[in-house]
Structure 1
Amino acid sequence: MTVTKLGSAFALPLALCAIPAAAQDNSSEEIAVTALRPDAHGPAGTMADHVHKQGDWMFGLMAMHESYGGANRAGTTDLTPAQVAAAGYSVRDSAMTMDMAMLHVMYAPNDRVTLMLVPSWMRMGMTMEGLPAMAGGMASGHGGHTLMPGQTMAHSVQGLGDTQFGALVSLSRRPELSVHAGLMVSAPTGSVSRRNASGSYVHYMMQGGSGTWDLNPSFTLHGANRRFGWGAQVAYLFRVEDANKSGFRFGDRFTATAWASKPVTGNLSLSSRIAFSREGTIQGHYNGAHGHASPPDLQGNYGGTRIDAGLGANLIVAKRVRLGLEAALPVLQDLNGIQLPRKFSGNLSASLMF
């Protein structure tokens, strides 16, 4: 990726804010900085981004969608099917989707602490494609099926994901600058024992959860004036256990994000966001029968570095009902091993506070 492309991505928040600001140069309209302003919460793709006052409850629903496709990639280089076959695989993943729904329950027993509970549900779908046979013949079996070169097969799994719970602790509660630290615990309520019809384990990424107890500390800044808002957050997902009951553990993940927002009216704001993540490879190994025919069957083909750029909007439809929408595209994907790159991600949120 060129320096120009990366620089353009980081300029996106400023550009988004400049457009509405220019349209209002001849207007003295300003939006008061309050907790009920539409950009008092972060964009729809952010989590643990805000706190509440004593006695407040919030119930929210967040839907996330990610789609992957195109050529498989090693690092930042796209590979042809023949190159994937030459790496020792007879099947490749040609398309994948991941959908997650999360229920957010938040309660503030006092002005300093906000408690959170986040159960989740997940669905993953994947399409596999037989690769050119390097020594003639047909592709090897996959999940109990035999795929000829170029032939495709789709499969999916769904069910409960992991459940997060924890607390956000306020360090500053001024509307102009809110600062809080968070510590979430992820309980392994999602399955890591799913198997194909043949009895072998599914791809690691198609298990419902991590199978390990995980810690996710975070630190969030959120500021605003009467014309603009902004925010930044860093977080680290730490896998506490060495392995789950199926014999492996996902890699740790560091994330950092920053956003800028512009309230257009008292009920509507626009936002832009840059998100960075770096995740390690899977450690350990399935402790039962599993395939090695495709890249997602091997632990080294997970994790890497990503940068995504997103645009979003927050809308207040009633005094205490808030909607959020955000869409993001990848700017950089430097992937470990051989993987299918992400093409698009989107988030939709709805919350009620009382």
Structure 2
Amino acid sequence: MKNLLVATLCVVTSITFSQEKETNLWTSNRPDGHAPISIMGDHIHHKGELMFSYRYMTMDMRHLRQDTYDATNADAHANYMVSPQNMTMNMHMLSIMYALSNKLTLMAMSNYLKNDMDLQMRNGNEFSTNTSGLGDISVSALYSIFNKNRKELHAHLGIYIPTGSIEKKGMLPMSMGNEVQLPYTMQTGTGSFGAKLGLTYLGQCKKFSWGHQLTGIININDNEQDYKFGNRYNFNNWFAAKAGNNLSISVRLEAVVMVEIDGSSSLLNPMMVSTADTKNSGGTYLNSGFGLNYLATNGNLDGLRFATEISTPFFQNLNGIQLKQNYNLTFGMQYAFH
């Protein structure tokens, strides 16, 4: 064991010192130098670099699914008084990245969410609920393990701070004019501290680039309502090709595993609506994405990047009965100070 530790230390030391002399490094300063805009923490920066990002993301969910099969309102109404019909989640996200050194980049992100859901009662009457507010804040560190021969590997370590609300309420047809607690999916926060762990591997050649990213978001503690959202694990793989000096086109494949909510809120009646029953949470998704990246390289806009991506699931295995994901659309703008 001791010999293995010594050997590992020697390898790491050799890589660290050899890369300082390496000139053929992976770089983000090209149109395909960033991952598709929906991926966070995909790259690091050189010492002293600062980058601001804005993203607008919309997720559309509609029609019911139980396990891997389509379901109907009648299936939901067999166990619940209310069935969801569709939901739209819109998010505005701001982030900042700053490189303390060529090895260490810090990142902070905050977001504002707006959730809208349409629902149907057993008697056929329909109604809507909506919430909005700040989400949880994350602070992360990205550490470069190596960068040479146009290959780069970095680790991601972050924490989530529960600044979002888990107390959003709404007035429902059956609440007799009173505002009541809304289900888990309508809340803007988790109420729990969380950790994010990840590894990202990047590669480039003259005309194209690729990447692989494995991340896990782990909710650490039960919140004040005695539950915590399930952990989430993502494995992203993408390929991007330059289409000129300023534009790149990307394709992406993603596997997502979302664990069921642990515990439950005493403020919710799990027999009222399917979204208030924690067994109808979590699942496995396989998604495909198509994106564009445009990087301005001249004049006053030098360093400004515009990007968009649309992704759709081609496989969904959902726990219990839930709304299917229809599509995710992301627009983004990033500006780097070199």
Report the TM-score when normalising by structure 2. Answer: 0.87
1:164 matches 2:157: no
1:137-156: CA deviations, max 9, x gaps? xxxxxxxxxxx32x211121
Aligned residue in 2 for 1:143: none
Q: How far off is 1:33 after superposition? A: 6.9
- Counterpart of 1:90 in structure 2 is 81
Alignment of 1:21-40 (within 5 A): 34-40=27-33
Q: In 2, distance between residues paired with 1:175 and 1:90? A: 60
Q: Output aligned runs, 1:257-272, within 5 Å.
A: 257-272=236-251
2:90 aligned partner = 99
Gaps of 5+ in 1: 1-31, 132-147
- Please report how far the alpha carbon of residue 89 of structure 1 lies from its aligned counterpart in structure 2 after TM superposition: 1.3
Which stretches in structure 2 are left out of the alignment for 5+ residues? 1-24, 172-177
Distance 2:73 2:97 in 1: 47
Aligned AA (2:155): A
Q: Structure 1 residues 211, 33: CA separation in 2 closer, same or farther (over 3 Å shift)? A: closer
Q: CA deviation at 1:98?
A: 0.6
Per-residue deviation at 1:304? 0.3
Residue 39 of structure 1 aligns to a residue in which SS?
A: coil
Which of 82, 86, 108 is the equivalent residue of 2:99?
A: 108
Structure 1 residue aligned with 2:12: none
Q: Secondary structure at the match of 2:181?
A: coil
- Please say if 1:255 is aligned against 2:234: yes
CA distance in structure 1 between the aligned counterparts of 2:310 and 2:186, rounded to whole angstroms: 23
Name the structure 2 match of 1:176.
150
TM-score, normalised to structure 1, is 0.83
Question: Which one of 255, 264, 277 corresponds to residue 285 of structure 1?
Answer: 264
Encode CA deviations 1:70-110: one digit per residue, 9 max, x unaligned: 2x111011112222222x11211001001111111100011
Q: Which residue of 1 aligns with 2:50?
A: 57
Cα distance in 1 for residues equivalent to 2:48 and 2:149: 18
- Answering whether residue 106 of structure 2 is matched by residue 126 of structure 1, we say no
Query: Which whole-Å deviations, capped at 9, do the CAs of 1:104-147 have from their partners, x for residues lacking one?
Result: 1100011110000101111110000123xxxxxxxxxxxxxxxx
Could you say which residue in structure 1 is the equivalent of 2:193?
Answer: 213
Q: Any idea what SS the aligned residue of 1:205 has? A: helix
Q: Quick one: which amino acid aligns to residue 223 of structure 1?
A: G
- Count of matched residue pairs: 303
Aligned-partner Cα distance in 1 for 2:27–2:198: 24
Cα deviation digits, residues 170-196 of structure 1 (max 9, x gap): 112237111100111110000011122
Return the alpha-carbon distance in structure 1 between the equivalents of residues 268 and 101 of structure 2. 51
As a proportion of its length, which structure holds more strand? 2
| Counterpart among 276, 280, 292 of residue 255 in structure 2 | 276
Shift of 1:291: 5.7
